[in-house]
Structure 1
Amino acid sequence: MSPFTPSASSPACAPPGSAAQALAQAWQGAQRRRTLFTTSDRDCAQATVARVFRPHRLEPERGARLVAQMQHLDAGLLGISQLSYGAGVDIQPGPLERFYLLQLPIVGSARIATAGQEFRSDPGCASLVSPGADLRMHWDASNVQLCVRIEAEVLRRFVAAWTGRAVMQLPQFQPQLHLDEQPLLQDLLLTLIQVADHGALAELPSAQLQYRLLALLLGSLPHDASELLGGSCPPVAPRSVRLVEEYLLAHCAEPLTPERLAALAGVSVRSLFLGFQRYRGVSPMRMLREVRLRKVRAELLNAASGTRITDLALRWGFCHLGRFGQDYQRVFGESPSQTLRATAA
């Protein structure tokens, strides 16, 4: 018997202009998404989903005919999938253990029970499930969700690097997430889909998108590690700032992260950022961004016929093309296309 009471109302649809609608449109427009399975066989659906996420119990409602489908878009270090069952189902994976799961309904609704809470998740309310919490769900027949898996070990290393302390316990997030109230997170998820669909998620842009996602989750959403992340610390010394500055100039084509730069200086990420703000007036990642802008400009000034600005920007880690264009204009006083036209002339 289902532990939830299935909804008898009509399917919840994403309202026009909402985050869920924008994500649904981006997903439907993605040409590189591939179908992992379409099946009416419960065991097949359960086994395939388990390979992507974790073993679980999948129970369709009595008498319901499963019409399950899973699609996937390769997003480098982050995987994004669309999943639906076409029938009301109970899903009981228990604690996720090794990953966080961001679930974004774009049609229909689900009942989520985790971390001592039970709530309805629909296009107006996503869910973010933490690894240590038990998880039980009932997806209504119309429910279609986008799912993003975030490795727990990666987030743990992020917190440890930021604070400079060993992290024994993973942050636990408030599981209800209203994406319309998080425009930066919505923008990042749209960028993730668009860049993955471009086929440009090489190591450099993939690492940057993953870092931005972790920073947004920890910086914008409620969780139990806020005090640890917000504690005070001394800024890094000027000598270490110079060391990191020289390193990022020499290695700007590599997938540099704040954790890697902080480890080079032997300090926490927080101390590194404070030191750069004090002695350089910018964050290390802002400095790296401007170094890469100069690299893009140098290539545009020597571009061969047929060079595409989008390809060049993505190769240098500029995933948000609109912001790339704005930054380029601010630094060089002209747009990337103006630079390219001048070269062609």
Structure 2
Amino acid sequence: MQAGTDPNNPALPHGEEPEGFRLARIGDLQDLEGGVYWPRLQPHFLKPHFKLLRYKIQERTGADRTPKFFSVRGASGVGDLDVAYVADRLAATLTVTGSGIPDYCLTAVSRGALKFGGAPGARTVPGIGRSVGLVYRGVPGTTLSATGSHERLSVWIPATSLNQRLAALLGGPVTKDIAFEPVFDWDAVPAQRLRRLMELMVEELRAPTPFAGSELASRSFIDLMLYTLLRALPHNHSDHLARAGSPAIPGIIRRAEAYIHAHVEEPIALHEVAEAAGCSVRSLQLGFRRFRETTPLAAIRFARLVAVRDALRTGDIAGTVTDLALRFGFTNPSRFALDYKAAFGEAPRDALRRGSGHRRHRR
């Protein structure tokens, strides 16, 4: 997203716009502060409550000194996640107005710094920069004050989606809203995994068709990202999550594997596997670790690789090997080829040629 920069205003891309985002370049205070730019971000951020996000420029300059474009607002998304790109040359404050926003926001700052203020009466947290992450819910009165020459990326996550994953991990309904500790260290090992997923998401958004247009791949990615978020960052349910669930029994594992094998060509969420197996996601994870020495996500990926191998052997393939890989949710051809060879000791194209030879010989 930073292919070129303006040396005097490094927060804003210079010459090239951020890839994979609908952009609104703003040079009028009324446009920014009145929210006139929102329609330019469509088809993203369509939910009405996002209009309750209001910006105000704090760093006023004379008319002759105000840059032509002093702000850029960008929008993209993966599934039900809305992704925002913000770059400001002038210091600005974001305020959540009205009845608030039910979503949670995960924010990574790449330039400048933020000061976060939660609900009225809550403590204010200054000094949020490149090494400090921020996660918060859009309660009324929340504020983010950014320095000039500032740039950040924010992922807005629906509360219902996050609660669904937490309930699956806990094995029961969520009776209290999730309340995260707002700031965290990106260098901590759990947070590093979350950051790598954000980087992978941005990489996919740059592609002409993110995740190769595969609903299976994008849904699996969202599933992984939200489970990682709940595990990586501290919140009011963390202690409950940390307590070991009841160990899974082989019957649960067999039911889970049967469900996975029956749905290898469809999007598979962990809570769906757990429901089919008759256990919580936590117990599912413990069971696979104990009885299969792997994780449910790794088991899903391996089942898809086996399905590709079987299709190559039987000739159940229309088009190229890449087309077949995409059919089973593998959107990165080179990564798929490496995973296939690591699992089976040969390249998928070699398996296809060998399978074709066997079929000709039988005829």
TM-score interval for Structure 1 and Structure 2 normalised by the shorter chain: 0.7 to 0.9
How far did 1:168 drift? 2.0
Cα separation, 1, equivalents of 2:101 and 2:22? 27
CA 1:184–1:315: 2 relative to 1, 3 Å: farther
Q: Distance in 1 between matches of 2:281 and 2:183?
A: 28
Alpha carbons of 1:256 and 1:156: their partners in 2 closer, same or farther (altered >3 Å)? same
Q: CA deviation at 1:197?
A: 3.0
What is aligned with 2:4?
none
The Cα offsets for residues 6-42 of structure 1, whole Å up to 9 and x where unpaired, read as: xxxx9898xxxxxxxxxx9xxx79743332x222234
Cα distance in structure 1, aligned partners of 2:200 and 2:349: 21
Gap regions ≥5 residues in structure 2: 1-7, 358-363
1:63 matched to 2:72? The reply is: no
Deviation digits for residues 288-318 of structure 1 (CA, Å, limit 9, x no counterpart): 211101233345665667x364x65455334
Q: Which amino acid aligns with 2:108?
A: L
The count of residues paired between Structure 1 and Structure 2 equals 320
Distance 2:328 2:237 in 1: 33
2:107 maps to 1:103: yes
Between 1:166-175 and 1:294-303, the stretch displaced more is 294-303
Aligned amino acid, residue 159 of structure 2? A
Matched residue, 1:179: 186
Q: % of aligned pairs identical?
A: 27
Match of 2:201 in 1: 192
Contact 1:128 1:173 in 2 (8 A): yes
Report whether the alignment pairs 1:40 with 2:40.
Answer: no
SS at match of 1:98: strand
Contact 1:107-1:122 at 8 Å conserved across structures: yes
**Alignment check: 8 A CA contact 1:245 1:284 kept:** no
Determine the structure 2 residue equivalent to 1:73: 76
In the other structure, the counterpart of 1:83 is: 86
Instruction: Determine which of 257, 277, 283 is the counterpart of 2:269.
Output: 257
- What is aligned with 1:160? 167
Measure the CA separation in 2 of the matches of 1:81 and 1:265: 37
TM-score calculated relative to the size of structure 2: 0.75
State how 1:90-239 maps to structure 2 within 5 Å: 90-93=93-96, 97-114=101-118, 115-132=122-139, 135-181=142-188, 182-198=191-207, 199=209, 200-239=212-251
1:328 lines up with 2:340 in the alignment: yes
Q: 1:222 to 1:78 in 2, by over 3 A?
A: same
What is the alpha-carbon root mean square deviation over aligned residues? 3.3
TM-score (norm: length of structure 1):
0.78
Q: CA deviation at 1:341?
A: 7.6
**Greater RCO, 1 or 2 (C-alpha within 8 Å, sep 6+):** 1
From the CA coordinates, give the structure whose radius of gyration is larger. Answer: 2
